[in-house]
Amino acid sequence: MNSLKIAGIKISQNENGLYSLNDLHRASGGLAKQTPYEFLRSDRTKAFIAVLGRNVKAGYPVFTETARGVGGGTFGCKEVLVAYGSWLSPEMNVEVHQAFIEKIEQKPLSPAEQIHQMSGWMVQAEQKLAGIPEVL
């Protein structure tokens, strides 16, 4: 899974590939009045999710809410994440759109570039195992 970073915060995904609305809330500044809970309670959001649910392919999860604790939080599909970004603020709306555009436009690495990248990781791992400090 390609990671998504918005406003310097990594937006995690759960085992179903849904994005953390809690991470996006933190990236936006974390105002109490703008929690995922408040977003999901709004009539406009409920209507959006209902329409989205009618227009997505069967079996596609629109959103899920998990329990508190490690790995918990509120997660949504990309459409819900974008809608949440729009609901938070115009600035966060732009941030979310730009993050998805960058993710879509990422050019896959060629086999040679992949080998080069992996060899760099291997050198770093060998140095770490040998106790050689990282060079910045």
Domain boundaries, the chain: 4-105, 108-136
| DSSP tag of 76 | E
pLDDT score for 1: 47
* CATH 3.10.260 correct for 4-105: yes
Single-letter code of the amino acid located at 134:
E
**pLDDT tens, position by position, for the chain (136 residues)?**
457 899 999 999 988 888 999 999 999 999 999 999 999 999 999 999 888 888 777 667 677 777 577 768 999 998 999 999 999 999 999 999 999 888 888 767 677 777 776 777 777 777 777 777 665 4
Note the pTM of the prediction, 2 decimals: 0.72
CA distance 82 to 11: 12
Q: What is the C-alpha separation between 29 and 104, in angstroms, rounded?
A: 26
